Amino acid sequence: MTLHLYAHRLSQPSRAVEILLRELDMSYTWHEVDFANGETREPWFAKDINALQTIPALVVSAESATDDKTEAGIGESHAIMRYLCRVAPDRDHAARWYPAEDALSSAQVNLWMAWHHNNVRAYDMFHDIMNLHLTLPMLKYELQETALKPLQDGLRGGLATLEQHLEKHATSEPTLCGSAHPTLADLTIACELYQIVAVGYRFTRFPNIARWLDNIARRPHFQDVSQEIVEQGRTIREQSGGYLDLDKAFA
């Protein structure tokens, strides 16, 4: 089986999938897709890679003609990650990330993954910050009010829920499902929040989130795959002048 990952390192769900591939020690061929310039909407991508026209997408090629399917494409990061945990050669390690055989434990992971889309990803502000960064200085203050503030306000509710939940598992290495090892739920939400930390947000008012995020972001594969977003965040901070007031938004 050969795995082809279509992704970009400035895309949160792409990073979550790539980090998992590395954590599970699965080799893959990397294909960078210029999603910011509309490449996912080009016919070759929509037809042959992912009809949903988003990254990440995983194309799985069977190695031998005796395999059931010769080629299959999977879209949606959560579906890809659960698939990887089902086919990873190291079964014990994969079960730590996603305990597929344990109905109750996997339900907990599913719960937080489902929650992630409506309560964290829905308020993703990294791309708005990129837009703001690229726009005329005179529009920056106005756009911050109309584009960024509503997302910050929306995310605050999700952060409060997470903080309260993590308080219950307040160990030195907290995880969302209370396990000793992080799961797909931790990975997917941490990738989302880490990219706004990269650009300057601080979770001072949410100390359990800050500790949990530090803990998962410290993993070597997380660090390697996140390098580009960290550099992009630093560039924005250095060039933003005084207009971005991010460190106080969640302080």
Interface residues with ligand GSH (CB under 6 A) are 11-13, 35, 40-41, 53-56, 76-78
Q: Which is nearer to ligand GSH, 130 or 217 (CB)?
A: 130
Q: Is 249 exposed, middle or buried (0-12, 13-18, 19+ CB in 10 A)?
A: buried
- Which pair of structure tokens corresponds to residue 110? 């599913």
Q: Which is nearer to ligand GSH, 12 or 232 (CB)?
A: 12
CA geometry: angle at 156 spanning 177 and 79, to 5°?
A: 45
Q: Which is nearer to ligand GSH, 13 or 99 (CB)?
A: 13
Phi/psi of residue 57, nearest 5 degrees: -140, 145
CB of 158 to ligand GSH, least distance (A): 16
Identify the three-state secondary structure at position 170: coil
CB of 241 to ligand GSH, least distance (A): 27
Q: Which is nearer to ligand GSH, 19 or 55 (CB)?
A: 55
Nearest to 150 by CA among 185, 182, 125, 176: 125
**Edge-to-edge order in the sheet of strand 71-75:** 29-32, 2-7, 57-61, 71-75
Signed CA dihedral, 82, 83, 88, 91: sign only: positive
C-alpha–C-alpha distance, residues 42 and 58, integer Å: 17
Q: Which is nearer to ligand GSH, 15 or 165 (CB)?
A: 15
CB of 229 to ligand GSH, least distance (A): 11
CB of 78 to ligand GSH, least distance (A): 6
Q: Which is nearer to ligand GSH, 54 or 183 (CB)?
A: 54
C-alpha–C-alpha distance, residues 244 and 246, integer Å: 6
Beta strand segments in 63-132, E: 71-75
CB of 137 to ligand GSH, least distance (A): 27
Q: Which is nearer to ligand GSH, 55 or 209 (CB)?
A: 55
Residue 172: C-alpha distances to residues 36, 46, 93, 178, 202 (Å): 38, 44, 22, 12, 20
CB of 40 to ligand GSH, least distance (A): 4
CB of 56 to ligand GSH, least distance (A): 6
